[in-house]
């Protein structure tokens, strides 16, 4: 069976099929989804009325009133920052949405390069001045998404915060604060924002079933639905990586409380927690960070085709019959990197720790 690449791109008022090159990057460890579209510097543009009138003329219903096609115009002049974007890609007419967001920048190059951002773009130009004596992560998020098209994931856990404030920061800066100072996983699924533990978002498979881990699953059979050579998959042994995760919390009485996990003599990954006090959440954060740093299995990027479809936050089950199942297992998907264009299409899938094997602690 022959596989023919198809695309449908819509930016602002314009939509078209075919493009020089598209690249799309998404990752659960990166707040802003990004994409780049490259297209010819000049194009002919028809309105919907002109397209319909020309089509009727071709099949003999009436003569077109439009006349000749318009002369070509500079493609870059058609788009501006903030234009909404949708990109659908696939084979043989079977298209899946790969990206939704906005134009970030239009570069006057040959071919024209259009830089895109996901819905985090709507949080860039806010000016948020707020403070809470006691609040939750979700309440803060509800404040920063006001006036945007962003919605919150129903899977955001209850995470209490104490004396939290944001002084004239953008919504994007608040998310960055939660990511780096609270060790929370922050990422978008189109216009849905998730903040919480790495494996905390529940998703379902395309057929409506739910996996044991609550995440959608994609299966990669090396040599069948993905390429045979996978040089970027590297073996990793937890015993070779001695680490200790330490979270420090200053209590109201001035004393410091430590939450720790990992190897006693391991390299210390230390973070001061200024707003979090809840014991259960702090212990969960320590365990989640240790799991990310120390495990047995493989890491790196698996090179696949455009299909099967996969997104960050899914689980990838690898079947590896050619190498006695050495790389087989079920892994958490950190990120995806899609390329599409005249040279073909690929989906790189960055895998992290194994979900079907215990984390190594010694």
Provide the residue ranges of all domains of the chain, joining segments of one domain with +.
Answer: 5-61+73-117, 122-196, 217-237+295-354, 242-293
pLDDT in tens, 253-267: 778 899 999 999 999
Q: What is the CA radius of gyration of the chain?
A: 24
Q: For residue range 268-285, list pLDDT tens digits in order.
A: 999 999 888 889 999 999
The alpha helices in the chain, defined as continuous H runs, are 48-58, 137-144, 171-181, 279-293
Chain segment 277-325, per-residue pLDDT in tens: 889 999 999 999 998 888 888 889 999 999 999 999 999 999 988 777 7
Q: Which CATH number fits domain 5-61+73-117: 1.10.8, 2.40.10, 2.60.40, 3.90.70?
A: 2.40.10
Contacts of 273 (CB under 8 A, 6+ apart): 181, 182, 247, 248, 249, 282
Q: Tell me the percentage of the chain whose pLDDT exceeds 70.
A: 87
Model confidence over 41-72: pLDDT tens digits?
887 766 555 544 544 343 333 433 334 445 67
pLDDT at 154 over 50: yes
Q: Find out whether 96 and 90 touch, Cβ atoms under 8 Å.
A: yes
Domain 217-237+295-354: top CATH class: mainly beta
Nearest Cα neighbor of 74 from 40, 103, 121 is 40
Q: Of 16-25, 217-226, 250-259, 345-354, which gets the smallest average pLDDT? A: 250-259
Predicted TM-score (pTM) of this structure = 0.87
The pLDDT tens digits of the residues spanning 220-235 come to: 999 889 988 899 999 8
In angstroms, rounded to a whole number, what is the distance separating the alpha carbons of residues 306 and 197?
A: 28
Right CATH for 122-196 from 3.40.50.620, 3.40.50.1370, 3.55.50.30, 3.40.50.300: 3.55.50.30
- pLDDT, residue 311, reads 94
Percent of the chain at pLDDT > 90 equals: 60
Q: Please check the confidence at residue 248 and state whether its pLDDT lies above 90.
A: yes
pLDDT of residue 70: 54
Note the pLDDT tens digit of each residue in 103-136.
999 998 889 999 999 999 999 988 899 999 999 9
Structure confidence by residue, pLDDT tens digits, 74-98: 888 999 999 999 999 999 999 999 9
């Amino acid at each position: 069976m022959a596989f023919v690449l198809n695309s449908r791109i819509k930016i602002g008022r314009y939509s078209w099929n075919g493009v020089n090159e598209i690249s799309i990057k998404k990752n659960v460890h990166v707040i802003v989804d990004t994409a780049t579209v490259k297209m010819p510097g000049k194009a002919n543009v028809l309105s919907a009325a002109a397209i319909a009138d020309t089509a009727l003329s071709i099949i003999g219903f009436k003569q077109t009133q439009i006349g000749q096609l318009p002369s070509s115009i500079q493609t870059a002049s058609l788009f501006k920052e903030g234009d909404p974007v949708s990109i659908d890609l696939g084979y043989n007419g079977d298209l899946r949405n790969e990206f939704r967001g906005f134009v970030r920048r239009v570069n006057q190059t040959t071919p024209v390069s259009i830089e895109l951002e996901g819905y985090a773009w709507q949080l860039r130009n806010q000016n948020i001045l707020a403070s809470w004596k006691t609040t939750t992560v979700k309440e803060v998020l509800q404040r920063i998404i006001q006036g945007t098209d962003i919605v919150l994931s129903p899977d955001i856990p209850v995470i209490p915060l104490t004396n939290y404030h944001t002084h004239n920061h953008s919504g994007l800066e608040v998310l960055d604060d939660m990511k780096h100072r609270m060790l929370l996983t922050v990422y978008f699924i189109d216009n849905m924002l998730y903040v919480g533990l790495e494996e905390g978002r529940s998703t379902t498979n395309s057929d409506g079933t739910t996996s044991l881990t609550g995440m959608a699953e994609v299966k990669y059979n090396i040599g069948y639905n993905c390429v045979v050579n996978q040089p970027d998959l590297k073996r990793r042994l937890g015993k070779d990586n001695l680490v200790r995760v330490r979270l420090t919390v200053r209590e109201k009485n001035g004393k410091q409380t430590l939450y720790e996990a990992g190897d006693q003599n391991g390299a210390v990954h230390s973070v001061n927690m200024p707003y979090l006090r809840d014991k259960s959440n702090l212990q969960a954060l320590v365990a989640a960070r240790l799991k990310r740093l120390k495990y047995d299995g493989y890491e790196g990027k698996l090179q696949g085709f455009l299909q099967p479809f996969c997104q960050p936050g899914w689980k990838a089950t690898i079947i590896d019959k050619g190498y006695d199942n050495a790389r087989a297992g079920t892994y958490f998907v950190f990120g995806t990197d899609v390329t599409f264009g005249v040279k073909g299409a690929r989906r790189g899938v960055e895998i992290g720790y194994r979900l079907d094997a215990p984390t190594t602690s010694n």
